[in-house]
């Protein structure tokens, strides 16, 4: 099993800890549709870690609208975390067509 350091080495790009309000439209675990306000708290050029109040379906498509720029992009759910003490879920997402400027920040180069 890979260590955390090994997993970090295989990542495509740097990550930035930042809070970005987002609007999420996707599919729930039971196949229903959901649209809710959520928060991205770790972002990269290729995806993000979201905190949502609804557990989303693994591998499902997701539309995320950046709460600052109001731009929308297509993602897919690639990781489902444990339910947090506050009742929210950590959800890993990956961009279908990564854009460096979607989150409105400059990303560090991979070292």
CATH number at residue 19: 2.40.10.220
How many structural domains comprise the chain? 1
| Domain annotation covers residue 103 | no
| Structural domain for 54, as ranges | 13-95
Cα–Cα distance list, 23 to 8, 37, 40, 65, 68 (Å): 28, 5, 10, 5, 10
| Domain annotation covers residue 109 | no
Alpha helices in the chain (DSSP H): 4-10
| Domain annotation covers residue 7 | no
- Where b means 16+ CB within 10 Å and e means fewer, 90-102 reads bbbbbbeeeeeeb
**What is the reported pLDDT for 58?**
97
The DSSP element (H or E) to which 19 belongs, if any, is: strand 16-27
pLDDT in tens, the chain (111 residues): 445 454 444 556 677 889 999 999 999 999 999 999 999 999 999 999 999 999 999 999 999 999 999 999 999 999 999 999 999 999 999 999 998 889 998 776 665
């Amino acid at each position: 099993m890979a260590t955390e350091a090994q997993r970090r080495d295989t990542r495509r790009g740097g990550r930035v800890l930042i809070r970005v309000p987002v609007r999420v439209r996707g599919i729930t675990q039971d196949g229903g549709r959901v649209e809710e306000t959520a928060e991205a708290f770790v972002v990269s050029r290729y995806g993000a870690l979201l905190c949502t109040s609804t557990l989303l379906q693994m591998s499902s498509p997701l539309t995320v609208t950046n709460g600052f720029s109001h731009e929308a992009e297509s993602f897919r759910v690639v990781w489902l975390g444990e339910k947090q003490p506050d009742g929210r879920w950590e959800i890993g997402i990956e961009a279908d067509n990564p854009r460096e400027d979607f989150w409105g920040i400059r990303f560090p180069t991979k070292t």
